[in-house]
Amino acid sequence: MQYLRDPQKIEELSMAVIRERLKDHDFAAAEWAVVRRVVHTTGDVAFAGLLQFSPRAAEQGAQVLAGAKQVWCDVEMVKAGIKRRAPFLLNCRIHQPEVAEQARLAGTTRAAAAMSAAVAEQPEGGIFVIGNAPTALFALLEAAAADKCRPALVVGTPVGFVGAAESKEWLTGFDFPWISVRGEKGGSTVAAAIVNALLSLALTAQ
């Protein structure tokens, strides 16, 4: 069987297909960079209609990542999906024994306990990427609603049938920069794709 093998040509052709299928989009340039990366990563053009941005979140997110020292992830899958050469430290506390104990005592998930620990360590100006666990996003937003933290950027794309849509809907009511996905769809690959797109924008601008 004959098939295309050159990785650069495969990506170029994929992006050409995306441009053709979404040729009537009205996204701003930075938002479009995020949308096409997510569509490319998932193979699902429906994400073009599901992605949501707070005003200028893509531009602000790229700027924030350009100077970031660390980024907090809810699960290891998000961390694994972000570019290896990212110029910042990727933190994920979900497997720390003390986090597991805090989750047990609080009767919550390890992801929520890990996110609460992250917020406590960086209550101001943190970058939080939540791609899997709605409870992690709820924990972050509860802290923000109580004025216990003020993120610089939240990428919130938890996936699932319990709490995912609700947590992301709550996120859209905050005035810090955020990028999210409507409804039950999302996932770690989507969150990582968003960060990678923002990172590419940041590196291009330098």
Q: Which two tokens stand for residue 69?
A: 């020292």
Q: What are phi and psi of 70, to 5 degrees?
A: -155, 155
Distance, in Å, from the CA atom of 16 to the CA atom of 19, rounded to the nearest integer, reads 5
Distance CA 137, CA 86 (A): 23
Q: Is residue 40 among the annotated active site residues? A: yes
> What is the Cα–Cα distance from 57 to 170, expressed in whole angstroms?
16
pLDDT surpasses 80 at 141: yes
Q: Is the pLDDT of residue 206 over 70?
A: no
pLDDT given at position 58: 98
**Residue 205, pLDDT score:** 67
- Which CATH architecture fits 51-205? 3-Layer(aba) Sandwich (3.40)
Residue 70 has pLDDT above 90, yes or no: yes
What average pLDDT score do residues 13-40 get?
94
Structure-token pair, residue 48: 């073009």
Catalytic residue among 36, 37, 40, 168: 40
Residue 203 pLDDT grade (very low, low, confident, very high; cuts 50, 70, 90):
confident
pLDDT at 150 over 80: yes
Q: Is the pLDDT of residue 32 over 90?
A: yes
Average pLDDT over residues 4-11: 89
Q: What was the pLDDT predicted at 134?
A: 98
The secondary structure of 52-73, three-state, reads: EECCCHHHHHHHHHHCCCEEEE
Residue 172: its pLDDT value, please?
Answer: 98
How confident is the model at residue 86, as a pLDDT? 84
Question: Domains of the chain: which residue ranges?
Answer: 51-205
pLDDT category, 99, cuts 50, 70, 90? very high
Question: Can you give the three-state secondary structure of 107-133, one letter per residue?
Answer: CCCHHHHHHHHHHHHCCECCEEEECCC
Instruction: Name the pLDDT band for 16 (thresholds 50, 70, 90).
Output: very high
Percent of the chain with pLDDT over 70: 99
Mean residue pLDDT of the chain comes to: 95
For residue 197, count other CB atoms closer than 10 A to its CB. Answer: 25
Rounded-to-integer distance, Cα 113 and Cα 91, Å: 14
pLDDT band at 161 (very low <50, low <70, confident <90, very high): very high
What pLDDT does 85 receive?
78
Q: What is the pLDDT of residue 76?
A: 96
